[in-house]
Amino acid sequence: MTDGPSSWAHDLAAGCVLAGVGVGAIVVGQSYGIGTLQRMEPGFFPVALGVILIGIGLGLAVSALKLRARQGHATTPLFDVPDWRGWLFIVGGVLSFLVFSTYGGLLPGAFACVFISAMGDRTTTWSRALVLAGCVAVAGSIFFAYVLKVQMPLFTWGPA
Amino acid sequence: MISTALSDLWFGFGIALLPQNLLWCFIGVLIGNIVGVLPGMGVLAAISILLPLTYSLPPVAAILMLAGIYYGAQYGGAICAILLNLPCHPPHAVTCLDGFPLTQQGKAGTALGITMLASFFGASFGIMEMIFFAPVLVRLAIQFGSTEIFSLMLLGLLAGSTLAKGSPLKGVGMTVLGLLLSVVGTDVTTGVPRFTFGILQLTDGVELVALALGLFGIAEFLKSVNRTLPVATGNATIRLKDMRPSRSELRQAAFPILRGTLVGSLCALIPGTGPTIASFVAYATEKKLAKDPSRFGRGAIEGVAAPEASTHSSVQGDFIPTMSLGIPGDSVMALLLGALLIQGIAPGPQLIKEHPDIFWGLIASFWIGNIMLLVLNVPMIGIWVKLLKIPYRYLYPSALFFICIGVFSTNNDLFQVGETLVIGIIGYGFVALRFEPAPILLGFILGSRLEENFRRSMLISHGDLMIFIDRPISAGFILLSVVLILAQVYFRVLRRKPPLIRVPTDEGAFE
């Protein structure tokens, strides 16, 4: 579950991630030139943010280690297991929108996106997902194409 | 002063009552109300999905509609909390405590009726506060130089990130990450592309809509899919005539509504303390003042009236710093500010003078919108109750399509859809590490102005950081920031006292 309180393991990982982003910001940022306070170059701001991020990350990590010392090692469960089925189909839904709207147009893109992502729910059925996808695709495409005049053809063949 | 305010307000009503503005205001509050009722849909997601649709609208209509979603959702959220005990929206989490017991006792109608009254009263007070307070703030802020603005932004960012939910340190971390994201793209002063990694589409920076929809749309779907439980709407049959509270109930609720309103309007003035905190403070105040505190949690009418009034007065008050100073207090306000920026309108103290139609039209529309919401909610309560039953498995795939097409239409570029997906997946990672993603938006919106004002201050002072302390107003903001941090350290680290009221850990799927 992605709910539940934050454990020391979360905070430790969170601190490391932030510090890592900070390091990245410094490494890339300094290539734009740092300059001085008076004459700042484009790299100054990102490098400063990177330093702050590293500070925050270390702070989080230290407090996480303190928490571990107090709570002991046996805090279950350490990390969440994502819902792989939902994940696969939601990511797949967006990707299929990219593919089908490029090679097929708005209507096929909408249908594929809704249908595939709907299949990510474990309680749904083929027929339900098909009906939902059909309704949303038709109503949505007409609304976006004719009312809002989105710059995407309803149907097309091959890359636009 | 009062007469100018009244004539300005009159002007505002003239704008807001134009048929097209009236229509967009109605659409906004309607969508807001729907989103508020639907379990698993959030205000931030709704506003970001609709943001692309406002590009073709005139600025006034766009902002009226988007603001309507925000306060409309508060009405809907209360229905959800009282009838189903679901804290779909964080500010209404406390309303569950006494609202749901009232439902179980068969008094759901009364609770809803009182809620509507309290909401309208609280909102009206918040609007009045904005009418009189915003021009005063503007008169102060108009003299601010880059130094003062930088310090004020610093205070706003710190307050916004540490006073919201979750760990303050993580909140600040997310804000800084947002600031870093705002760096991506072409540097305004030198024209150097930063953090674009050779990707052409990134030279314009990270797209606001892609960021918002990635974080509050895709990341939330990834988190909530197959995890939301079906909603049981057992006791949820309400008729209109049940909603009229009796005279004794009204008398019981009158002072709590008044006190709640005051709490909410005070909270609105402190940056970073939005409606959620206001509602908790109002509830705690009522419990403390009550002759018999044990009634709370078992269906005390005060426990519904006060938090709802404070939520609504603070929601309206939230607009004060956003519209008068250009400093958003939370991520919803940041998104609205982003909508103004997209329309080519620079936020800040000059906004009221340069675009009086937006400011006064917005205020007038608040009132019109709140009246619309009363009309929408009181007679149509049965329809809202039915909406509660729409299952999540139909909601998220449809919303996903709206996200895809909405992001595409911002630039007519599918690259943005991919960008949203990547941001969503990374955003899920942060959510899984127990970060609150909302402050990212706050940092992202303020980032470029923060950098610019810092640069300018340093040019003026020849690189002397003491300038922020030498100037009295700026020093005041810095002092407040320091006090804020020290207070956080004191309360969180040194005392570790359990909070006054337990905040539910799962505060609805979104936000």
Query: What does B63-103 look like in DSSP terms, one character per residue?
Result: HHHHHHHHHHHHHHHHHHHHHH----SGGGHHHHHHHHHHH
Is the pLDDT at B19 greater than 50? The verdict is yes
In B92-249, DSSP assigns E strands to 185-186, 193-194
Specify the pLDDT at position B399. Answer: 86
Helix (H) or strand (E) holding B39: none
Is the pLDDT at B320 greater than 80? The verdict is yes
DSSP assignment, residue A35? B
Specify the pLDDT at position A72. Answer: 64
**Contact: B397, A150; criterion CB under 8 Å:** no
Residues of A in contact with B401 (CB under 8 A): 97, 110, 113-114, 136-137, 140
| Closest residue in chain B to residue A63, using alpha carbons only | B493
Specify the pLDDT at position A48. Answer: 93
* Paired tokens of A62: 């230290």
User: Is A61 in CB contact (< 8 Å) with chain B?
Assistant: no
**Contact: B226, A86; criterion CB under 8 Å:** yes
* B138: containing domain: 2-495
| Closest residue in chain B to residue A9, using alpha carbons only | B433
Specify the pLDDT at position B235. Answer: 52
Specify the pLDDT at position B495. Answer: 56
* Paired tokens of B122: 């609280």
Residues 6+ apart with CB under 8 A from A117: A89, A90, A92, A93, A94, B221, B396, B397, B400
**Contact: B408, A40; criterion CB under 8 Å:** no
**Highest mean pLDDT (candidates A147-151, B197-201, B365-369):** B365-369
In this structure, which amino acid lies at residue A147? Answer: V
Distance from the Cα of B382 to chain A's closest Cα (Å) equals: 25
Distance from the Cα of B464 to chain A's closest Cα (Å) equals: 8
Specify the pLDDT at position B143. Answer: 81
Domain contains A139: yes
* Paired tokens of A81: 């297991």
Domain contains A3: no
Specify the pLDDT at position A52. Answer: 94
Is the pLDDT at B136 greater than 70? The verdict is yes
Judge residue B191's burial from the number of C-beta atoms within 10 Å of its C-beta, 0-12 exposed, 13-18 middle, 19 or more buried: exposed
Residues of B in contact with A36 (CB under 8 A): 463
Specify the pLDDT at position B85. Answer: 76
pLDDT digits (tens, 9 = 90+) for B383-412: 777 777 777 788 888 889 988 988 888 888
Do A63 and A89 fall into the same domain?
Answer: no
Under the banding of pLDDT at 50, 70 and 90, the label for residue B500 is: very low
Distance from the Cα of A83 to chain B's closest Cα (Å) equals: 7
Under the banding of pLDDT at 50, 70 and 90, the label for residue B494 is: low
User: Is A99 in CB contact (< 8 Å) with chain B?
Assistant: no
Of B56, B173, B455, the CB nearest to A56: B173
Residues of A in contact with B183 (CB under 8 A): 29, 45-46, 49
Residue A40 in 3-state DSSP? strand
Domain contains B175: yes
Mean pLDDT of B434-441: 86
Do A53 and A16 fall into the same domain?
Answer: yes
Domain contains A78: no
Residues of B in contact with A118 (CB under 8 A): 393-394, 397
Domain boundary among A37, A71, A105: A71
| Total domain count, chain A | 2
Specify the pLDDT at position B271. Answer: 66
User: Which residue out of A41, A45, A156 would a mutagenesis test of the B interface target, given it has the greatest number of B Cβ atoms within 10 Å?
Assistant: A45
Question: Between residues B501 and B242, which one has the greater pLDDT?
Answer: B242
| Total domain count, chain B | 1
In this structure, which amino acid lies at residue B355? Answer: H
Do A14 and A62 fall into the same domain?
Answer: yes
**Highest mean pLDDT (candidates A3-12, A35-44, B56-65, B159-168):** B56-65
Domain contains A118: yes
Of B398, B408, B458, the CB nearest to A38: B458
Of A38, A83, A152, the CB nearest to B226: A83
Is the pLDDT at B421 greater than 90? The verdict is yes
**Contact: A49, B454; criterion CB under 8 Å:** no
Q: How many CB atoms lie within 10 A of CB B331?
A: 29
* A106: containing domain: 84-147
| Closest residue in chain B to residue A152, using alpha carbons only | B412
What's phi and psi for B238, nearest 5 deg? -125, 135
pLDDT digits (tens, 9 = 90+) for B99-134: 888 888 878 888 888 888 898 899 999 888 888 888
Specify the pLDDT at position B506. Answer: 37
Do A67 and A88 fall into the same domain?
Answer: no
User: Is B229 in CB contact (< 8 Å) with chain A?
Assistant: no
Of B187, B408, B428, the CB nearest to A42: B187
| Closest residue in chain A to residue B448, using alpha carbons only | A45
Domain contains A93: yes
Contact indicator for A15, B443 with CB cutoff of 8 Å: no
Residues 79-118 of B with CB under 8 A from A: none
* Least confident window among B151-165, B178-192, B225-239, B475-489: B225-239
**Contact: B408, A152; criterion CB under 8 Å:** yes
Under the banding of pLDDT at 50, 70 and 90, the label for residue B505 is: very low
Specify the pLDDT at position B501. Answer: 44
Do A66 and A96 fall into the same domain?
Answer: no
Domain boundary among A32, A48, A71: A71
Domain contains B408: yes
Under the banding of pLDDT at 50, 70 and 90, the label for residue B460 is: confident
Domain boundary among A45, A71, A97: A71
Residue B193 in 3-state DSSP? strand
What is the DSSP secondary-structure string of A122-136? TT--HHHHHHHHHHH
Residues 274-333 of B with CB under 8 A from A: none
| Closest residue in chain A to residue B493, using alpha carbons only | A63
Under the banding of pLDDT at 50, 70 and 90, the label for residue B285 is: confident
Do A13 and A67 fall into the same domain?
Answer: yes
Domain contains B502: no
- In percent, the amount of chain B with pLDDT more than 90 equals 14
**Highest mean pLDDT (candidates A144-158, B15-29, B343-357, B462-476):** B15-29
**Contact: A91, B425; criterion CB under 8 Å:** yes
Residue A157 in 3-state DSSP? coil
**Contact: B227, A56; criterion CB under 8 Å:** no
Residues 130-169 of B with CB under 8 A from A: 166-167, 169
Under the banding of pLDDT at 50, 70 and 90, the label for residue B509 is: very low
Specify the pLDDT at position A22. Answer: 94
Do A52 and A94 fall into the same domain?
Answer: no
**Contact: A121, B169; criterion CB under 8 Å:** no
Is the pLDDT at B507 greater than 80? The verdict is no
Cα–Cα dist A141/B305, whole Å: 43
Judge residue A155's burial from the number of C-beta atoms within 10 Å of its C-beta, 0-12 exposed, 13-18 middle, 19 or more buried: exposed
Is the pLDDT at B135 greater than 50? The verdict is yes
Distance from the Cα of B381 to chain A's closest Cα (Å) equals: 26
Residue A37 in 3-state DSSP? coil
What is the DSSP secondary-structure string of B246-307? PHHHHHHHHHHHHHHHHHHHHHHHSTT--HHHHHHHHHHHHHHH-S-GGGTTS--THHHHHH
**Contact: A140, B401; criterion CB under 8 Å:** yes
Query: What residues form DSSP beta bridges with B186?
Result: B193
What is the DSSP secondary-structure string of A97-147? HHHHHHHT-HHHHHHHHHHHHHTTSTT--HHHHHHHHHHHHHHHHHIIIII
Residues of A in contact with B430 (CB under 8 A): 14, 17
What's phi and psi for A124, nearest 5 deg? -85, 165
Residues of A in contact with B177 (CB under 8 A): 18, 21, 53
User: Is B462 in CB contact (< 8 Å) with chain A?
Assistant: yes
Q: Which ipTM score applies to this complex?
A: 0.91
Is the pLDDT at B32 greater than 60? The verdict is yes
Domain contains B509: no
Under the banding of pLDDT at 50, 70 and 90, the label for residue B87 is: low
User: Is B434 in CB contact (< 8 Å) with chain A?
Assistant: yes
User: Is B485 in CB contact (< 8 Å) with chain A?
Assistant: no
Distance from the Cα of A136 to chain B's closest Cα (Å) equals: 7
Cα–Cα dist A47/B373, whole Å: 48
Which regions in chain A score pLDDT beneath 70? 1-5, 71-80, 158-160
Contact indicator for B123, B370 with CB cutoff of 8 Å: yes
Mean pLDDT of B229-235: 58
User: Is B189 in CB contact (< 8 Å) with chain A?
Assistant: yes
Residues 136-155 of A with CB under 8 A from B: 136-137, 140, 144, 148, 150-152
Mean pLDDT of B481-510: 59
Question: Between residues A33 and B231, which one has the greater pLDDT?
Answer: A33
Distance from the Cα of B419 to chain A's closest Cα (Å) equals: 11
Q: To which residue do tokens 């004794």 refer?
A: B248
Is the pLDDT at B496 greater than 60? The verdict is no
Cα–Cα dist A143/B60, whole Å: 23
pLDDT digits (tens, 9 = 90+) for B67-85: 999 888 888 888 878 887 7
Is the pLDDT at B27 greater than 70? The verdict is yes
Domain contains B261: yes
Residues of A in contact with B190 (CB under 8 A): 41-42
Contact indicator for B296, B287 with CB cutoff of 8 Å: yes
Cα–Cα dist B488/B236, whole Å: 41
Specify the pLDDT at position A85. Answer: 86
Contact indicator for B264, B311 with CB cutoff of 8 Å: yes
| Closest residue in chain B to residue A141, using alpha carbons only | B405
Domain contains B35: yes
